[in-house]
Amino acid sequence: MSKNRIRLFVNLIVFGFAMPAVLYLGITVFEDRKYYMISLCVIALSCIPFFISFERRKPQPREILTIAVMAAISVAGRCLFVATPGFKPVTAITAITGFALGAEAGFLTGALSALVSNMFFGQGPWTPFQMFTWGMIGFVAGLLGKTKWITKKVPLVLFGIFAGIFFSFGMDIWGAISTYGVFEMEAYVLALASAIPFTIIYAVSNVIFLLILTKPLMEKLTRIKIKYGMMQ
């Protein structure tokens, strides 16, 4: 069975069977009273195809080490800017890793950054949402990294704005559920509206860190990638 067929099979199982089954149990067995738990299960299931896809490629130890180092830099950056909520380099470092090393590396960097940094900031039901949201930002960055124009200033600004909005929209799903116990569109819209100032901070910080860090980090990662034949 080819890798593409395996990936398709995994996606079919996760998105076509597992998620609907979990949602069905939530509606019929728990009568929507455990929607909070169900939503966490859905987010966790969403991570599986990406981790399996990366792992099946049998990456070299130096590739894992490089991703771990980038995640560590991301965690250190989040801790360094602890006094400025929302103004963090995590998204930028995750995106840059995706630009240079590919979508799977970007996803893993974002997911690991959320998981490890929350050991300092506090683990909780929000962690899987952060893992998935930052991971998807890294994944999208990896797809865009195949185009050379993404490292130019205007595309970086646009991506920074997009990433800020995407992160806010993703985390506001958790905010609406944690506040009201179930997901309601009215509550979600209210959460989005109340989070506008933070969304602006997210977007601005992303743009600033991307413009500052992209060139030096991309040069380092590209040199390592070429020297050791990584992510081929």
CATH code, domain with 84: 1.10.1760.20
Q: pTM for the full model?
A: 0.81
* Residue ranges in the chain modelled with pLDDT below 50: none
List pLDDT tens digits, range 101-142.
887 788 889 888 988 888 888 777 777 778 888 988 988 898
Give the span between the Cα atoms of 61 and 138, in whole angstroms. 20
Contacts of 29 (CB under 8 A, 6+ apart): none
> Looking at the domain assignment, is residue 78 inside a domain?
yes
What integer pLDDT is reported at residue 188 of this predicted model? 84
Two tokens at 88?
A: 């963090």
**Domains of the chain: total:** 1
Q: How many residues does the chain have?
A: 232
Domain assignment present for residue 150? The answer is yes
DSSP conformational letter for 12: I
> Is the residue at 195 inside a domain?
yes
Is residue 1 assigned to a domain? no
